[in-house]
Amino acid sequence: MSDDHSNEWYYNVKTGKVEPYQGSKSADRLGPYNSPEEAARALDKVQERNESWDNDPKWDDD
Q: Would 31 be classed as within a structural domain? A: yes
Kindly report the number of other CB atoms within 10 A of residue 29's CB atom.
Answer: 21
CA–CA gap between residue 5 and residue 22 (Å, rounded): 9
What is the model's pLDDT at position 1? 56
Cα three-residue angle 57-45-53, rounded to 5 degrees: 10
CA–CA gap between residue 45 and residue 57 (Å, rounded): 20
Domain count, the chain: 1
Q: Would 15 be classed as within a structural domain? A: yes
Please, where are the H alpha helices in 1-62?
A: 36-40, 42-54
> What pLDDT tens digit does each residue of the chain (62 aa) get?
568 888 899 999 999 999 999 988 889 999 999 999 999 999 999 999 999 988 888 876 65
Q: Would 41 be classed as within a structural domain? A: yes
